[in-house]
Chain A
């Protein structure tokens, strides 16, 4: 096992609101090795962003957090309590979704980069500015010396996201968390930004967590992919294994929602029926049960523990897909025409 950079054990994050406590993250455990790129995939409300924000200590004051997180040997939650400076932004940084709002509209782009350099590294204005220009060049911004003095509203969406990335990488962090970095950008720019992130990551030997709701974005880039649902980690595996031989019915359902090159054209994509899980006081059952084609009575009695091969392919399901138990459960439901929770199902075309 190469050196573990980040470990997250039994992470719980709750938000008291006027309508009850929201269990945003429900016992998540995962690890990340130095230089590794982990993709976290899930619908909105699955807790992926909350997890990222917990790492970055960006949760609002009202949040209640349990479990422990260590990063390069340091207990992250202790660092947060001591309000230690020069941790976030230097060791660990984050990039957000919408470049249009991630930059302060009334400050020049250069300033927003140099302020971190001046603060964390104590650079003088001159050196900070030169570094900023270099950074902009590295992230592929044309005419960086001119752009550095421009205001955000004078740049396009793609350029702005590059400035944000430059800002994040200014102090050579060892972990970059990218929360849906390309969602707000059009597809053509999306690919170039992701390639940029890959290139930068490799050059700097930086580990990265890419958070997205789009499996396609994760494929081909991340070493491992973790799938979250209802605040829980339901499956994690090396990318190709996940795509080829997924175990958790939700992952399988997710895979069916993305168009595949090898599928005939006009294949109908199947939306996942039912509504997203209830996060307020969730029941002691598998969160996906209501929408799962394989659902059996035992799915409703307890929360499925994380099984499978530790460190290789983990998943939390009593009747995992692509296994004999799973096929047996599915055939029973198909025969009955519905699952234990009453979900109407019939044989889907092209089941792999």
Chain B
């Protein structure tokens, strides 16, 4: 939800993965699902070599390693970062999900129909879905969940901008709810695929509000239910025998989630067969997984962008000359080569060239220090108080303690050294996010974007979230024309038109010089040969689920062979 994991997913002592944030937004997105146009290149598991399809074996506990642990798994109070989503996806089924082509389809919901002449959508829930505590899921639960999310100080920041202050949600009947939006949206169900689409029972929501420790033991309706959870130690879930889709294709007896901050060690343990599956974005871990025999890696390089962000509302970055100088002097090549060690490609914009949204003409500048000199000279002439002996004073903030983050800071500082006096500031991850959210930063190492449905990126770019004490438009760059483009692409369901709009947005972002894109982050799911059918998740009507969506795995249909 709100990028709870920006600036580095790890908060352990010697965490090693590259910093970054998963971000999603509640903005609706709709894609004409009839032509089945492929929105994103599908991530499919490499075809199993064995000729004969092994007979599915039931049972076993899948051991999963995660890069960090969430504060809790209650979708209405906790910010879901990668770890919380991994556990959450086993406990909750979202209302909607993306299929392998990147189009949304109804999962818990039966149908989603826009209301003629209004911006509202009616979502009809399948009947007969029971929660882990046996109670049946109804519209009341959906309403309770949505209102709780609107009330939460942090989650509401990402949800509230798209809904009216009053009557954002109405009950139509026991199984149907109407969401009233401020603006027309053609792909609204796309936003109900993430945390907003995970609905715990109303009774649990009320109880958890009283006793926050219940956030650690959520009640959902997913294929697995929680058995035990020890923060930063181990979380165990077991098969939910009365799962609403039946347990025929839920083969695992249970899953054990282990937060291991040093994911390179987790990779070693997968190689040694002690752990079955690891989800990581750390280049060391990815290389180890690739080299290990008996381990398969499933890499998604469209899942986020590693970039540098500047606060366009505070000096010296309120001046475009300084932003341009910082961009030109940035040593993007050293960062890409040395930090990602070739595991992820350079990035020019928020869309990878394979994606249809990509604008090939947009090129991210960098490694051109000679162009930065004159800009700095002219700026320091105008604003001498921000410069000392001909260099602009800036503060580079990053999250830690983490070795890879320190290395990134060292590379960037070395590149900027001729033009900037860089003071490095290492903050703990949540303090780091807080400082960025409240605009108390100048330049920041960050990771963001990468959603399957681009409409979910609108929250980070619109003017609505650039004002106020806490702003999700981190760089605080408001451009009314861009707003118009954002809402236009949201309203239309004509794919070519949307692609054209997003290409213009990329040009505008490039010229704003608010971001310096460096690489596309690589979320890898590494698993041993024992783990079968990792990408074989099926929806209720036979749809195959999108696999490794930013490292957020589903665990339906996965099974463990004892060979």
Q: Is A–B contact present in the complex under a CB 8 A cutoff?
A: no
Residues of chain B having any CB pair with chain A under 8 Å: none
